[in-house]
Structure 1
Amino acid sequence: MLERLFPRRAPARKPLPQPNAQLALGALLVRVALANKQYLAAEVAQIDKTLAATFGLGPIEAAKLRAECEALERDAPGTPEFTRILREEIAYEDRKTLGHAMWAVAMADGHRDEDEEVQLLAIETALGLSNEDIAAARKNALGQL
């Protein structure tokens, strides 16, 4: 009865942070992992490892950044905004490395998934990677299965 008189209100959401290169990369890594509608522990661990290595973070800081990226990925605009930020802030050679890192997330569970591969191709293309570099990242990732 009290519930009807005093209904609970959903807590107000915190405003989303303005995306920067760290958040954009993390959100794209999460997006790749979620492409097949599964978010496995191996993928989460690979995202944390990638964020830690890319930005010189410790494990706790990388996990906190990933958590923020998960919220951003869930509520933020689409892939083009994230890839635009990365194209503007990160040199081509480093974007190639990010392509390899995204493949590592997609392959973290040890299985190929068409939805993840489609998502990866869209992201790599939007990052401005050449067809040759996209093919090399894919070949490298699939060769490690």
Structure 2
Amino acid sequence: MIKALSTLFEINTPDNDDASPEHRRHLAAAALLIETARADFTQDGVEEASMMAMLQSSLGLSDNEVGELLRLANEEVDAATSLYQFTRIVNDHFTPTQKTQLVGDMWRVAYADGNVDKYEEHLIRRVADLVYVAHEDYIRAKLSAANAAD
């Protein structure tokens, strides 16, 4: 039984060696966007639409591919016990520019519903620290998202 459980967890983790590095990057980014949407304990259609649009434009995926990516990412977030499994992939596979873009995307999800909750802000700050985004880039991404939301 333990072997069956460990096999299940190995298959479903975003850092699974069977998944391509590109798939792991996409899954980690989507999971962090979902974490942002869930941080205020509500995830509405506006935030979901925002995530879909961002993933389509930044990853060049179709509606169906983004839907499947978000479904898998939701499963990963539900099973996750910390942000580490996602931030490790970001640190291992994203450039500094991509990390800053991800933080900006997280801010856009937070601003999508017109209200940035303190828990959303805390999560984004923590992720920015964990993926080594400079504070000035964090602030720049926040202001850019705030201006775009207005």
Tell me which amino acid in the other structure corresponds to 1:126.
L
* TM-score normalized by the length of structure 1: 0.85
The answer for the alignment partner of 1:104 in structure 2 is 108
Q: Distance in 2 between matches of 1:115 and 1:141?
A: 17
**Is contact 2:55–2:66 with CA below 8 Å preserved after alignment?**
yes
Q: Aligned-pair distance for 1:118? A: 0.6
Paired residue for 1:36, among 24, 36, 40?
40
Q: Distance in 2 between matches of 1:84 and 1:108?
A: 26
Q: Distance in 2 between matches of 1:142 and 1:108?
A: 10
Is residue 18 from structure 1 mapped to residue 13 from structure 2 by the alignment? Answer: yes
| Other structure's SS at 1:107 match | helix
The structure with the greater share of residues assigned to helix is 2
Q: Aligned-pair distance for 1:78? A: 1.2
Structure 2: runs of 5+ lacking an equivalent: 1-7, 15-23
Cα RMSD after superposing both structures: 1.6
The answer for the alignment partner of 1:47 in structure 2 is 51
Structure 1 residues 92-120: Cα deviation after superposition (integer angstroms, max 9, x where no partner): 11111111111111111111211111111
Paired residue for 1:130, among 134, 141, 146?
134
Structure 1: runs of 5+ lacking an equivalent: 1-13
The answer for the alignment partner of 1:70 in structure 2 is 74
The answer for the alignment partner of 1:7 in structure 2 is none
Q: Report the more deviating stretch, 14-23 or 73-82.
A: 14-23
Q: Distance in 2 between matches of 1:76 and 1:113?
A: 22
